[in-house]
Amino acid sequence: MTVPPQRPGEITRFDEANSARLGLICVQERIPSDYTRWDHEWTVEDRTARLTCISPSEYGGVPHGLDGDFATTLNLMYLEQGSPDSGEVNTTAYQLLSKSGFPDSGQYYQALQDSLDRLKGATYAASESWRDKRYDRWTTVKFNIIEQIDADTAGGLAFGSGTLLRIRLARPVVQSLRAQYVKPLDMTFVQSLNRSLTRSLYRILDARRYDPVHLSDPVTVLRIPLQQWARECKLLETMPARIKRNLDGAHQELIERGYLRSVTYDGARLNTVIVYEFGDVQVNPPAPEPSLQVIADSPLVEALCREGVVLPVARKLVHQYGDLHVTTRLEAFQALLRSGYAPKKRSALLVDVIKDEAGKYTAVLQELEGVAPEATVPEAAAPAPERPVRAKKAAVTPAAELDELTERMNSEFSALPREEQAARALTQVRMFVGRELREHHLRGLMAAMLSGDADPVEVQREVIRAASELRLPEFAQQLRETHESGGN
């Protein structure tokens, strides 16, 4: 199914605005390995600004292609993990690939490893061009997009699905994210685009629409000298005809998908200006939510939004019912979908599951908590004396349906690769007791699940059972004791 672009005021996910606007990643899919440096100069408030990138040839030249996908995903994961002051993102290679929209295959694990090496190896210098929101000024910074990578590859050299990653992001990027210097990013639309060239062009083009100081409403038409645009995209080619040819495929895809209404050119040769007319902005767009509110949203609110629940409703549900209730009901909703249930509207079903107080979804909740279901018929379904046949059917249906649902859930989860089972279980543990554990406890748990010393299915069930029985402190203590040896 083709995913249409969201209007800017509807987007609920964000990216760091400096990185997006400056176009740190070359949009080209492939470059020669000797393309190891680029420089770009322009004017900011009557001052000359400059951006430089220098990268070793041994890593394949300057960051380009898929590197932009992984850099963006790391920023999003950093926000999802609570924006820690350490600047660290803790994940697995499998989760990083999955969140970036790529398949679980050896080719992409190698691409991920190469990309992280380039993002670690490339050095950027931004002179009078990096916006420091904390002090409301332009400043000069020098950084690597990734400052440090700790990878546990279980004794091998190559990345695999179980590789544990601890990645520390550049301090200037971390400070911008924590100060909420961000712009909207339609990540669902990004991942639906076919080519990395289109995705890279979309990210820098979309960032260019916003005023860099106030990040105000995006423009509907953007005019840029063509050669300047080529430098901003970090293209090797500088001749107008070649610039047009290199970008034509990406332009066409963005037009077909409705993000752009048109791409035209004014002038000739070196005086050519490229004109973008955007198609995703309505005449009177709604005012966007303040960035402070949106960044403060929890991963749970974002999870509801990804299922189609509108942002104000998602916030209200979490505020009214609490994290524990909403998390458990979200699990029940996902279990219903895995069982084969196909609602007319996913978001409506999810809201109903969260709000339900009549016990319509008790069987699913009991299964998630590991509680033996009651094989009794609700009073409302008691058989009428004059219709014994129908009554008999009603009496056996709930237990039969529950058995079938349980079997489907267990079978589907068991069919997943162990790496994905472990990743899902670890996500549940982070959500419920992540603040009570140190990172080495979580890494130890992940390693135990991947090695077979712990069963991901049991880990997931136990954390939900502990939450339902108000035993989360004891559960966290047990994990600390079991995996304390992994600490420093």
Residue that wins the pLDDT comparison between 414 and 4: 4
Return the minimum-mean-pLDDT range out of 65-74, 394-403, 470-479. Answer: 394-403
The confidence score (pLDDT) of residue 185 equals 92
pTM check: above 0.85: no
Question: 354-373: per-residue pLDDT in tens?
Answer: 988 877 777 666 666 555 44
pLDDT band at residue 6 using 50, 70 and 90 as cut-offs: confident
User: By CB neighbour count within 10 A (0-12 exposed, 13-18 middle, 19+ buried), where does 191 fall?
Assistant: middle
* Class of residue 446 by CB neighbours under 10 A (exposed 0-12, middle 13-18, buried 19+): buried
In Å, how far are 85, 360, 413 from 422, measured between CA atoms? 26, 30, 11
- Quick one: average pLDDT of 123-152? 95
Query: Could you read off the pLDDT of 292-329 as tens digits, one per residue?
Result: 333 345 667 877 877 878 777 888 888 888 877 888 88
CB under 8 Å to 33, separation ≥6 — which residues? Answer: 57, 60, 61
Residue 269: what pLDDT? 83
Residue 221 has pLDDT above 90, yes or no: yes
- pLDDT class for 162, splitting at 50, 70, 90? confident
Per-residue model confidence (pLDDT) at position 283:
37
Predicted confidence (pLDDT) per residue in 82-106, tens digit: 889 999 999 999 999 999 999 888 8
Tokens of 26: 């070359």
Q: 273-278 and 260-266 as β-strands: parallel, antiparallel, unpaired? A: antiparallel
Cα dist from 101 to 164, 183, 188, 199, 417, whole Å = 19, 21, 9, 12, 17
